[in-house]
Amino acid sequence: MHPFVRLLAGFLVCVVLPRTVAAATPPLITPGAEWRDTQGHVIEAHGGGILQVGRTWYWFGEDRNPSLDPEKRYVSCYSSRDLLHWKFRGHALALSDPEHLGPHWVLERPKVYYSKSTHQFVMYVHLDDARYKYARVAVARSARITGPYLFLRSFRPLDSESRDIGQFVDDDGQAYLIFESRPSGGFYVARLSPDRLSVESPAIAFLDAPLEGGALFHYQGMYYVLGSHLTGWRPNPNVYATAPNLTGPWSTFRKIAPASPDTYGAQSTFTLKITGTKATTVIFLGDIWNPKSLSDSRYLWMPLTISGDHLLLPEPQPWTINASQGLTRIAAQPVPPAR
């Protein structure tokens, strides 16, 4: 064959042979799987909550890493622009026993608010002794969202015992604290002061149900409150109730995941509403606790299915989100069972 013909044939082969191009795989949130930050370290943000500032979300939670100073309690802070990739921003709070509570004192469920009146960030936590008899909230403050936060004081909101706490900021910017009060047999929703440093009396609502792990959101004119039964570290069927107003009347409680006897192994800690350019999505944030190794407790994040006054936590599946649009998509991959 003439050299030119051989060259032309080779060129044509290169042109017409199909090329296999690997499609980009979107990052996924896989409920129950180990979740790592942008540096490859396991995310330590248990019992946490999320605050959005501008286009960035900040995730605060308990750092249960056993290598940390056992005399202190730590709250981690992570940031993300897409809810998929999280950067560790350090310990927003590293606190020594602030009230002389003794060995094995407790700091749980950190939640951070922003005060427009003072331009300060305020962190609430459940503060307790080893026997869970102290039953207070602690308040810390910082000029920067990532901290460090300075402990200010502890108190019993509305002069009531307070254990598990939850966070809610309504569409009008008003902030509320949710707290479980064991002697009262239920939990309160209480308005926070403009500086976010105190709880205003009287309570906005009292839900007469012995529940903890309180979470609350407002969606299309309806309020939804979630809670977990009092079974300690053991998962149970989490429930929800609805009301047209925060003050009620509240419906009876119903199971959030009727197909699962234990909410797929998770306990509610927060609900995150994403208002995008194309849709509004509400995400259930739950903890899959591992009491034998709390540092290895996992996270169950799933978009909720909402229709009128009906709420459903679907069976966990890997999924992804376009946070700017508010759109989610379920991926066809199995999820490892809760331990």
The secondary structure of 107-120, three-state, reads EEEEEEEEECCCCE
Q: Which two tokens stand for residue 107?
A: 């700091």
Residue 87 falls inside a structural domain: yes
Per-residue pLDDT of the chain (339 residues; tens, 9 = 90+): 444 334 333 433 333 333 333 345 569 999 999 999 999 999 999 999 999 999 999 999 999 999 999 999 999 999 999 999 999 999 999 999 999 999 999 999 999 999 999 999 999 999 999 999 999 999 999 999 999 999 999 999 999 999 999 999 999 999 999 999 999 999 999 999 999 999 999 999 999 999 999 999 999 999 999 999 999 999 999 999 999 999 999 999 999 999 999 999 999 999 999 999 999 999 999 999 999 999 999 999 999 999 999 999 999 999 999 999 999 999 865 555 445
- On the 0-12 / 13-18 / 19+ scale of CB atoms within 10 A, 98 is middle
CA–CA gap between residue 168 and residue 163 (Å, rounded): 16
Kindly give the pairing relationship between strand 106-115 and strand 120-128.
Answer: antiparallel
- Give the model's pLDDT for residue 174: 98
Alpha-carbon gap, residue 258 to 314, rounded angstroms: 9
Edge-first strand order for the sheet with 280-288 is 267-275, 280-288, 298-303
pTM: 0.91
Enter the DSSP assignment of 29: B
In a domain, 8, yes or no: no
Smallest CA-to-CA distance from 113 within 87, 140, 135 is with: 140
CB 89 within 8 A of CB 145: no
Beta carbons of 75 and 92 less than 8 angstroms apart:
yes
* Structural domain includes residue 98: yes
For residue 71, the model assigns a pLDDT of: 97
How far is residue 128's CA from residue 104's CA, in Å, rounded to a whole number? 9
Report how far residue 299's alpha carbon sits from residue 243's, in angstroms, rounded to the nearest whole number.
28
What's the N-to-C CA distance of the chain in angstroms? 68
Neighbours of 270 (CB within 10 A): 28
Domain annotation covers residue 169: yes
- What DSSP string runs through 206-224? EE-S-EEEEEEEEETTEEE
Task: Tokens for 257, please give them.
Answer: 């995941």
Residue 124 belongs to some domain of the structure: yes
User: What pLDDT does residue 5 have?
Assistant: 37
Q: Is residue 206 part of a domain?
A: yes
CATH number of residue 186's parent domain? 2.115.10.20
Domain count, the chain: 1
> Are 93 and 123 spatial neighbours (Cβ–Cβ below 8 Å)?
yes
- Residue 254 within a domain: yes
Q: What is the pLDDT of residue 142?
A: 98
Residue with token string 């792990």: 213
Domain of 269, in residue numbers: 28-330
Pairing of strands 136-142, 120-128: antiparallel
pLDDT at residue 256, rounded to an integer: 98
Nearest to 295 by CA among 136, 67, 82, 53: 67
| Number of neighbours of residue 301 by Cβ within 10 angstroms | 20
Residue 55 inside a domain? The answer is yes
